[in-house]
């Protein structure tokens, strides 16, 4: 057995590989396995149906948020169209399942691929444009796609929406929250693994170089345009995949949810979680989904009490206010997000009692 | 032909609305190169403050107009102080996201305070402003907004071209670190530009309110329509904003009249993508896009 690596006193990397490792110590690797065991063997059995429902939504949101973080956090290209990309994935999965009769796994994956292509189309302006112009282009993409969802009735059935057939995988029916839990979180673990490793490859390093200084990156021989489009494609693939899963999980889709507000929600997730951090995207997804649930629960709670229904009506718009406040607060006070908070807490434990 | 003329006039008036809405946006961009996604909300805040003074507190119209201007000017300072000052010198991406956050925050706040209903101002413009020209009848709101638009155009044209404050603003927008090192007081310039922009937004917001009534959702949608307008006109050009607004307005009503009413809402954005691909600096913008 090789020698176990534990925390050294400080960070002394002697070789480039050490800088690239995901787990700098074996302790971290152990915690990952503990986490996976908890995720698959404990959580689904101790949670109620409602909790599983929330956790499943967190899983779906986390997949999309990881994708968006690859685009914004690692490549530095802002997209305000991710809500619509998520919708493209949902519609692609639904249409492929109902019209073409694709099985569950194939239609979700094709949903990802189709969304990746759509993402590339809206990433095309990045040939000649930087930050702010590109942001506006994706904003336009959001509105154009939203219009297509409602108006391309021969394909999307407009405001009526599409009912999806029940998902089945390898001959098993996927029904109920618990089975879906396994499907969603197996996908989540695989896609997280891919994303974490992607950042370590030449592609990931090229993305980071483009984010930090695109002129320097181009000077060093990175074909910027190609990598920007690739980043758009990968990030839209994640969004579309998550959208497809969500469509099957909910069972029917309508154009209403995929608005600009959803895009802002995803941006809030990765800012709150931490730009340029994969765990950060997951933290952000947890934070925003739970916040959403708390706000809608409290609205319902006040709705049911006589005389307090008026308060409930004012809580509904508070949701937007709280999202905005969270984005602003984190940008100003903790631009690295919850991931940084988590790192500080962790190193607090590690260094205790001598925090030098 | 009559239908055509009717659409043309309708389009011009919608376009004027867009042009007015775009003025404050161009102000902020020109003076600090911040892409303000909270623009619609700034318009709405100005319109609602005026509503609160004139309808709820029942103050005289001109006094409440003055108070609104003072209030929004101060609010611009406060917004800059609280939210944008900590980001001076930070990456552009964070500033853009901050305005996205501010937009959600302001919208939520307005909805909590005022609700999502449609409000109207009392009628206070003098009826003598109406222009009659044959069968065409232009209501006083448009005449007033036209006059205000011209005044804006000339004042800010001179301001940016000749006043030292305006030149500081342009230098800060162009290159913040360079302006800092040349001794421009960047913080003061930022504060001033947000205060002035909030004031401009309030005036536009009030005029929009007189034309269409005020509703939080409608105005925030209008705030996003500003993007096609300013991209078409050129981000730094006030004249471009007005011409861009008119073109987009006419295009929108003609699409609505001749093609389909549902396409009307997205045609500005389709144009936007097209312009970004073909002529990204717009009709009158500065041609200095760095292609990387």
pLDDT of residue B221: 83
Nearest CA-CA distance, residue A137 and chain B, Å:
6
With beta carbons less than 8 A apart as the criterion, state whether B254 and B50 touch.
no
Residue A6 lies in a domain: no
A317, B94: Cβ pair inside 8 Å? no
Q: Which residue of B has its CA nearest to A137?
A: B273
Nearest to B269 among A135, A140, A323 (CB): A140
B105, A320: Cβ pair inside 8 Å? yes
B262, A321: Cβ pair inside 8 Å? no
Nearest to A125 among B106, B266, B273 (CB): B273
pLDDT of residue B135: 63
Nearest CA-CA distance, residue B278 and chain A, Å:
9
With beta carbons less than 8 A apart as the criterion, state whether B236 and B286 touch.
yes
Burial tier of A1 (Cβ tally within 10 Å: 0-12, 13-18, 19+): exposed
How far out from the chain centre does Cα A159 lie?
A: 26
CA neighbor of A183 nearest in space, from A173, A194, A197: A173
A76, B93: Cβ pair inside 8 Å? yes
Helix axes A337-351, A278-304, angle to 10 degrees: 110
Residue B132 — left, alpha, or beta (φ > 0 → left; ψ -120 to 50 → alpha)?
beta
Q: Which residue of A has its CA nearest to B81?
A: A332
Residue A347 lies in a domain: no
pLDDT of residue A124: 82
Contacts of B107 in chain A (CB under 8 A): 317, 320-321, 324
pLDDT of residue B287: 67
Residue with the larger pLDDT of the pair B113 and A153: B113
With beta carbons less than 8 A apart as the criterion, state whether A303 and A309 touch.
yes
CA neighbor of A146 nearest in space, from A118, A109, A113: A118
Instruction: Name residues 82-101 of chain A within 8 A of B (Cβ).
Output: none
Residue B238 — left, alpha, or beta (φ > 0 → left; ψ -120 to 50 → alpha)?
alpha
Chain position carrying tokens 């929009």 = B208
Report the C-alpha gap between A270 and A80 in whole angstroms. 13
Taking CA atoms, A201 is separated from A21, A213, A229, in Å, by 11, 18, 17
Residues of chain A with pLDDT under 70: 1-11, 127-128, 130-131, 167-168, 171, 174, 306-314, 355-356
Mean pLDDT check: name the lowest of A7-16, B55-64, B88-97: A7-16
Nearest CA-CA distance, residue B63 and chain A, Å:
31
Beta strands in chain A (DSSP E): 162-163, 168-169, 172-173, 252-253
Look at chain A and report how many structural domains it folds into.
1
Residue A310 lies in a domain: no
User: What is the residue range of A169's domain?
Assistant: 44-258
Residue A199 lies in a domain: yes
Q: If you average pLDDT over residues B1-27, what whole number do you get?
A: 81
Nearest to B270 among A144, A317, A328 (CB): A144
A218, B262: Cβ pair inside 8 Å? no
Report the C-alpha gap between B48 and A317 in whole angstroms. 17
Report the C-alpha gap between A73 and A67 in whole angstroms. 10
Return the domain boundaries, chain B: 2-121+139-278
Residue B291 — left, alpha, or beta (φ > 0 → left; ψ -120 to 50 → alpha)?
beta
Burial tier of B86 (Cβ tally within 10 Å: 0-12, 13-18, 19+): middle
Nearest CA-CA distance, residue A112 and chain B, Å:
23
Residue % of chain B over a pLDDT of 70: 92
Nearest CA-CA distance, residue A266 and chain B, Å:
12
Contacts of B273 in chain A (CB under 8 A): 122, 125, 137, 140-141, 144
Nearest CA-CA distance, residue B276 and chain A, Å:
7
Chain position carrying tokens 């700034």 = B42
Residue A163 bridge partners (DSSP): A252
Contacts of B94 in chain A (CB under 8 A): 331, 335
The half-sphere exposure of A206 on its side-chain side, counting CA atoms within 13 A, is 18
Q: Which residue of A has its CA nearest to B109?
A: A321
- B2-121+139-278 adopts what CATH topology? ABC transporter involved in vitamin B12 uptake, BtuC (1.10.3470)
Instruction: Name residues 158-217 of chain A within 8 A of B (Cβ).
Output: 214-215
CB contacts < 8 Å between A and B, how many?
Answer: 145
Q: Which residue of B has its CA nearest to A143?
A: B266
B93, A319: Cβ pair inside 8 Å? no
Nearest CA-CA distance, residue A12 and chain B, Å:
30
Give residue B292's pLDDT band: very low, low, confident or very high (50, 70, 90).
very low
Residue A245 lies in a domain: yes
ipTM of the predicted assembly exceeds 0.90 = no
Residue A136 lies in a domain: yes
Q: Which helix (H) or strand (E) holds B131?
A: strand B131-133
Contacts of A319 in chain B (CB under 8 A): 108
Q: Which residue of A has its CA nearest to B99?
A: A328
A137, B100: Cβ pair inside 8 Å? no
Report the C-alpha gap between A215 and A132 in whole angstroms. 16
Contacts of B97 in chain A (CB under 8 A): 78, 267, 271, 327, 331
Which of B108, B110, B255 to substitute to test the interface with A, most A CBs within 10 Å? B108
B93, A224: Cβ pair inside 8 Å? no
DSSP annotation of B120 = -
B272, A136: Cβ pair inside 8 Å? yes
Q: For B129-146, what is each residue's pLDDT tens digit? A: 666 666 666 777 777 777
């Amino acid at each position: 057995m090789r020698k176990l690596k534990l925390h050294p006193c400080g960070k002394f990397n002697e070789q480039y590989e050490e800088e690239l490792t995901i787990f700098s110590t074996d302790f971290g690797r152990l915690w990952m396995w503990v986490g996976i065991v908890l995720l698959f063997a404990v959580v689904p059995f101790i949670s109620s149906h409602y909790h599983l429902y929330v956790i499943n939504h967190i899983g779906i949101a986390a997949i999309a948020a990881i994708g968006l973080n690859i685009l914004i956090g690692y490549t530095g290209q802002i997209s305000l169209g991710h809500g619509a990309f998520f919708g493209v994935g949902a519609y692609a999965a639904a249409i492929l399942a109902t019209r073409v009769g694709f099985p569950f796994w194939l239609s979700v994956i094709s949903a990802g691929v189709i969304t990746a292509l759509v993402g590339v189309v809206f990433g095309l302006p990045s040939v000649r444009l930087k930050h702010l112009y590109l942001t506006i282009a994706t904003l336009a993409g959001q509105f154009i796609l939203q219009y297509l969802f409602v108006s391309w009735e021969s394909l999307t059935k407009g405001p009526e929406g599409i009912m999806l057939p029940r998902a089945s995988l390898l001959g098993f029916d996927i029904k109920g929250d618990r089975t879906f839990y396994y499907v969603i979180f197996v996908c989540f673990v695989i896609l997280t693994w891919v994303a974490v490793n992607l950042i370590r490859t030449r592609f990931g390093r090229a993305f980071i170089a483009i984010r930090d200084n695109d002129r320097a990156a181009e000077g060093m021989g990175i074909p910027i345009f190609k990598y920007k489009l690739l980043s758009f494609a990968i990030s839209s693939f994640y969004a579309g995949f998550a959208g497809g899963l969500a469509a099957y999980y909910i069972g029917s889709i309508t154009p209403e949810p995929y608005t600009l507000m959803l895009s802002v929600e995803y941006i809030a997730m990765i800012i709150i979680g931490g730009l340029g951090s994969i765990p950060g995207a997951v933290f952000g997804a947890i934070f925003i989904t739970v916040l959403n649930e708390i706000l809608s629960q409290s609205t319902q709670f006040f709705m049911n009490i006589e005389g307090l229904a008026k308060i409930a009506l004012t809580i509904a718009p508070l949701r937007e206010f709280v999202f905005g406040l969270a984005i602003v607060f984190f940008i100003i006070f903790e631009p690295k997000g919850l991931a940084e908070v988590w790192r500080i807490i962790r190193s607090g434990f590690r260094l205790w009692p001598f925090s030098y | 032909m009559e239908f055509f003329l009717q659409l043309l006039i309708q389009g011009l008036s919608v376009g004027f609305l867009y042009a007015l809405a775009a003025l404050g946006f161009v102000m902020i961009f020109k003076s600090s190169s911040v892409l303000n996604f909270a623009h619609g909300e700034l318009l709405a805040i100005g319109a609602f403050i005026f509503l609160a003074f004139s309808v709820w507190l029942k103050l005289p119209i001109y006094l409440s107009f003055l108070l609104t201007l003072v209030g929004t000017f101060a609010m611009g300072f406060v917004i800059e102080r609280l939210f944008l000052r900590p980001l001076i010198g930070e990456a552009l991406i964070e500033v853009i996201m901050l305005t996205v956050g501010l937009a959600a925050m302001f919208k939520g706040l307005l909805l909590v305070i005022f609700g999502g209903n449609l409000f109207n101002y009392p009628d206070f413009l003098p009826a003598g402003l109406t222009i009659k020209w044959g069968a065409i009848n232009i209501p006083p709101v448009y005449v007033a907004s036209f006059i205000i638009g011209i005044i804006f155009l000339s004042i800010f044209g001179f301001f940016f071209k000749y006043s030292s404050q305006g030149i500081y603003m342009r230098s800060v927008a162009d290159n913040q670190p360079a302006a800092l090192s040349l001794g421009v007081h960047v913080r003061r310039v930022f504060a001033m530009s947000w205060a002035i922009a909030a004031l401009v937004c309030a005036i536009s917001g009030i005029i929009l309110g007189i034309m269409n009534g005020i509703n939080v959702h409608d105005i925030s949608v209008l705030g996003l329509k500003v993007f096609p307008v300013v991209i078409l006109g050129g981000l730094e050009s006030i004249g471009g904003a007005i011409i861009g607004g008119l073109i987009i307005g006419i295009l929108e009503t003609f699409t609505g009249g001749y093609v389909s009413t549902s396409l009307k809402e997205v045609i500005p954005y389709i144009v936007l993508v097209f312009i970004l691909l073909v002529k990204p600096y717009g009709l009158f913008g500065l041609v200095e896009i760095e292609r990387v």
